[in-house]
Amino acid sequence: MTRSPTMKGSLITPAGRRLMWRSAVISVFLISFAFFSIWAFYHYRPTGPMAWLLALLPSLGIIGQMAVFGVYLSEEKDELNVAILVKSMLWSIGGTLSVTTVWGYLEAFAHIRRLELLWVYPIFVVFQTISSLLVRWRYR
């Protein structure tokens, strides 16, 4: 039988390790792009295509993270890990949609403070972190 030399019954699979590495690299780019864009807008007040480019730069990291999740789902051979990620993402999407929809109605009718759309992904990350811990705990 061919055995994975790196797995040895551990909790983290090779695909899981690659997910963590890729996510860490993407996070560095995301944070760097975000700080760079804020710095550039604060100091140079760009307009036109440059403003568009700088505004879109931080979102590349988020799109990259979604791609990393997609690659992980195609690479991961451990069914439980796939199930945990899929379930936690569904809970996260549900939670994010609920919070942003409720906030949107409160904004429209109760005139509460406006929620910038760029906060949607951080809200998703909070839900993703909590739900992945809870889903994983359920399978302990």
Partner 1 sequence: MKNRLRVLRAERDWSQADLAERLEVSRQSVNAIETGKFDPSLPLAFKLARLFETTIEEIFTDEANA
Q: Which residues bind partner 1 (CB under 8 A)?
A: 1, 3-4, 7-13, 77-81, 83, 136, 138-140
**Min separation Cβ 4 and partner 1, Å:** 5
Nearer to partner 1, 78 or 107 (CB): 78
CB 132 within 8 A of CB 84: yes
Nearer to partner 1, 8 or 45 (CB): 8
Helices 79-105 and 48-75: angle between axes, nearest 10 degrees = 140
**Min separation Cβ 91 and partner 1, Å:** 17
**Min separation Cβ 93 and partner 1, Å:** 22
Nearer to partner 1, 3 or 113 (CB): 3
CB 124 within 8 A of CB 100: no
Place of tokens 């889903």: 135
Q: Return the ∠ at Cα 20 (arms to 78 and 131), rounded to 5°.
A: 70
